[in-house]
Amino acid sequence: MAYLVDNWNEEDMQEIRNLLRKPTAQTEHGELRGILKTVLSQVTRGLDMSPLFTDIVKLCATVSIIEKKLAYLYMTTYARKKPDLALLTVNTIQKDCCDANPMIRGLALKTLCSLRLGELIEYTKHPLLAGLKDKSVYVRRIAVLGCLKVHHLNPQFSTDHDIVNTLYEMLRDKDVIVITNCLMALEELLLQEGGVVINQKIAHYLINRLSDFTEWAQCCILQLLLKYRPENDEETFDMMNVLEIYLKHTNSGVCMAAIRLMLHLTKDLPDIIQDVYKRLKGPLVSLLSSDRPELVYTSLCHLEWLNIKAPGKLDKYYKKFFCRYNDPGYIKYKKVELLAILCTNESLKDITEELSVYATDVSVLLSQFAIRALGQLAKMNPAFTLTCIEAMWSLLFLELDSVSSEILVVFHDILRYENLIDYITGVITKLPVCEHVVQDPRGKTALVWLIAQHGKDLLDAPYILESMLDSWEEEPSKLVKLSLLTTTTKLFFSRPAECQDMLGKVLQRCIESSDDPDVREKALMYYRLLSKDVQKARDIICTSQPHLGILPTDGTSSLSSNLQHFNSVALLFGADKWQEVQQSKLIGKSKVYSQSLHPVTVSKPDETELCMPETSQLLDLNEVTTEIRSDVTSQVVSEIKFAPTISLSPEEFEGKWMLWKSSKQQQLPLLESVPPNDIQDRLAGLGWQAMAISPEGSDPWKAFLYAKEANTDQLYLMEVNLHSETDLLTFDIKCQEDQQWVTSAVMKLILDAVS
Backbone angle region of 116, left / alpha / beta, with phi > 0 → left and psi within -120 to 50 → alpha: left
604/441 Cα distance (integer angstroms): 14
Q: How far is the CB of 37 from another protein (least distance, A)?
A: 6
Q: Does the protein bind another protein through residue 638 (CB under 8 A)?
A: no
Q: Which residues pair with 311 in a beta bridge?
A: none
Q: How far is the CB of 593 from another protein (least distance, A)?
A: 7
Element (H, E) at 715: strand 715-723
Binding-site string for another protein from residue 327 to residue 366, where x marks contact by CB under 8 A and - marks none:
-xxx--x----------------x--xx--x---xxx-x-
Q: Does the protein bind another protein through residue 208 (CB under 8 A)?
A: no
Of 35, 90, 109, 184, which lies in the binding site for another protein, with binding defined by CB under 8 A? 184
Q: How far is the CB of 352 from another protein (least distance, A)?
A: 13
DSSP 1-27: --SS-SS--HHHHHHHHHHHH-GGGGT
Q: Does the protein bind another protein through residue 175 (CB under 8 A)?
A: yes
With contacts defined by CB under 8 A, name the span among 307-315, 406-414, 579-587, 686-694 that binds another protein. 579-587
DSSP 458-510: -TTHHHHHHHHHHTGGG---HHHHHHHHHHHHHHHHHSHHHHHHHHHHHHHII
Name the burial class of residue 87, with classes exposed (0-12), middle (13-18) and buried (19+) by CB atoms within 10 angstroms of its CB. Answer: middle
Whether 359 and 374 have beta carbons less than 8 Å apart is answered as yes
Return the axis-axis angle of helices 176-189 and 163-170, rounded to nearest 10°. 150
Q: Does the protein bind another protein through residue 463 (CB under 8 A)?
A: no
Of 1, 14, 28, 66, which lies in the binding site for another protein, with binding defined by CB under 8 A? 66
What residues between 580 and 609 interact with another protein by CB under 8 A? 581, 584-585, 589, 592-593, 596-597, 599, 601
Q: Does the protein bind another protein through residue 211 (CB under 8 A)?
A: yes
Cα 512 off chain centre by? 49
**CA-to-CA separations, 31 to 17, 99, 256, 316, in angstroms, rounded:** 13, 25, 49, 65
Q: Does the protein bind another protein through residue 63 (CB under 8 A)?
A: yes
Q: How far is the CB of 69 from another protein (least distance, A)?
A: 6
Q: How far is the CB of 92 from another protein (least distance, A)?
A: 15
Residues with Cβ within 8 Å of 293's Cβ and at least 6 positions away in sequence, in order, are 327, 328, 330, 331
With contacts defined by CB under 8 A, name the span among 213-221, 482-490, 678-686, 747-755 that binds another protein. 213-221
What residues between 392 and 411 interact with another protein by CB under 8 A? none
Q: How far is the CB of 139 from another protein (least distance, A)?
A: 8
Binding-site string for another protein from residue 285 to residue 304, where x marks contact by CB under 8 A and - marks none:
xx--x--xxxx-xx------
Q: Does the protein bind another protein through residue 643 (CB under 8 A)?
A: no
With contacts defined by CB under 8 A, name the span among 130-138, 408-416, 534-542, 738-746 that binds another protein. 130-138
Phi, psi of 23 (to 5 degrees): -60, -30
Q: How many residues touch another protein (CB under 8 A)?
A: 111
Binding-site string for another protein from residue 222 to residue 261, where x marks contact by CB under 8 A and - marks none:
-x------------------x-xxx-xxxxxx-xxx----
Q: Which residues pair with 705 in a beta bridge?
A: 690, 718
Q: How far is the CB of 636 from another protein (least distance, A)?
A: 14
Name the burial class of residue 394, with classes exposed (0-12), middle (13-18) and buried (19+) by CB atoms within 10 angstroms of its CB. Answer: exposed
What residues between 306 and 325 interact with another protein by CB under 8 A? 319-320, 322, 324-325
Of 61, 73, 310, 502, which lies in the binding site for another protein, with binding defined by CB under 8 A? 73
223 vs 635, which CB is nearer to another protein? 223
Q: Does the protein bind another protein through residue 119 (CB under 8 A)?
A: no
What are the CB-based long-range contacts (under 8 Å, 24+) for 28-31? 29/64, 29/66, 29/67
Of 14, 543, 545, 568, which lies in the binding site for another protein, with binding defined by CB under 8 A? 568
SS (H, E, C) 64-110: CHHHHHHHHHHHHHHCCCCHHHHHHHHHHHHHHHCCCCHHHHHHHHH
DSSP 539-586: HHH-PPPPPB-PPPPS---TTTT-GGGTTSHHHHH-HHHHHHHHHHTT
137 vs 202, which CB is nearer to another protein? 137
Q: Around Cβ 501, how many Cβ atoms within 10 Å?
A: 12
Of 15, 17, 41, 579, which lies in the binding site for another protein, with binding defined by CB under 8 A? 41
Q: How far is the CB of 559 from another protein (least distance, A)?
A: 12
Q: Does the protein bind another protein through residue 195 (CB under 8 A)?
A: no
